[in-house]
């Protein structure tokens, strides 16, 4: 019987290169990639995956051309608006993580509305990382934690992994069991560095717009071939 990872994190890569290969502008790739999110969410739910976390826009993506950043922001905002409808239709709970204060006020309101509207849903837990960077997340967590030490809410001696994890954006989520990165690159790109400590990694050449249920199943099959020891040694039979 196949083991299904409880939490899958995905780096959605290859939208621009996919579009270029078809003679289309990069923004077309982002549009098709955004549409594929619902397809993969449905596939994950059907497979029995409980948590799906998607890297949509990193803190470094602001360095892209202004026109591409503006188009991405417009696309993400539009996606979140539509997600309110699809989340309830599919009984999906949605969270957004990242440094959200840099986003427009209207964008932040849509995030708040989406999280509130879907909070009671009991199906797939979808988390979207927007203006997210793991180093930024950890710096924000440390500053918050130091403020709590200064104000006497916790002591330095109390700090451990569990306490620190409670200050991260992902504090309501279990750590990922499996990380998938599409489109051939093999790096983490400042994504969930703390949380991926014991995750299995799966890299595929398939670009995100072409990543289907069949491709997700391949990743889960590969995950089933891994021997997760968490630093220990498995006893020989």
Active site residues: 13, 61
Q: Does residue 60 contact residue 133 with C-beta atoms inside 8 Å? A: yes
Residue 94 burial (C-beta neighbours within 10 Å; 0-12, 13-18, 19+): buried
Cβ-count burial 40-52 (b if 16+ within 10 Å, e if not):
bbebbbeeebbbb
Query: What is the DSSP pairing of strand 125-132 with strand 178-181?
Result: unpaired
Q: What is the spatial distance between Cα 36 and Cα 206, in angstroms, rounded to a whole number?
A: 13
For residue 204, the tally of other CB atoms under 10 A from its CB is: 20
Beta strands, E only, 133-194: 178-181
């Amino acid at each position: 019987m196949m083991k299904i990872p409880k939490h899958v994190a995905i780096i959605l890569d290859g939208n621009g290169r996919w579009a270029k290969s078809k003679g289309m502008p990069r923004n077309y790739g982002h549009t098709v990639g955004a549409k594929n999110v619902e397809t993969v969410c449905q596939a994950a739910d059907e497979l029995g995956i409980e948590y799906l976390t998607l890297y949509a826009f990193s803190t470094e993506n602001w360095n892209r051309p202004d026109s591409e950043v503006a188009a991405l922001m417009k696309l993400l905002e539009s996606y979140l608006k539509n997600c309110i409808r699809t989340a309830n239709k599919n009984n999906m709970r949605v969270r957004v993580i990242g440094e959200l204060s840099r986003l427009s006020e209207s964008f932040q309101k849509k995030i708040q509305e989406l999280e509130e509207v879907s909070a009671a849903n009991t199906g797939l837990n979808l988390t979207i990382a927007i203006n997210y960077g793991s180093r930024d997340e950890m710096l924000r967590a440390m500053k918050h934690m130091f403020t709590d030490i200064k104000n006497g809410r916790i002591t330095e001696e109390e700090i451990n992994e569990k306490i620190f994890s409670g200050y991260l954006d992902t504090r309501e989520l279990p750590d990922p069991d499996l990380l998938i990165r599409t489109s051939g690159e093999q790096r983490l790109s400042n994504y969930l560095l703390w949380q991926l400590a014991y995750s299995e990694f799966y890299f595929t050449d398939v670009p995100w717009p072409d990543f289907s249920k069949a491709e997700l199943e391949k990743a889960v099959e590969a995950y089933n071939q891994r021997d997760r020891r968490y630093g220990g040694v498995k006893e020989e039979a």
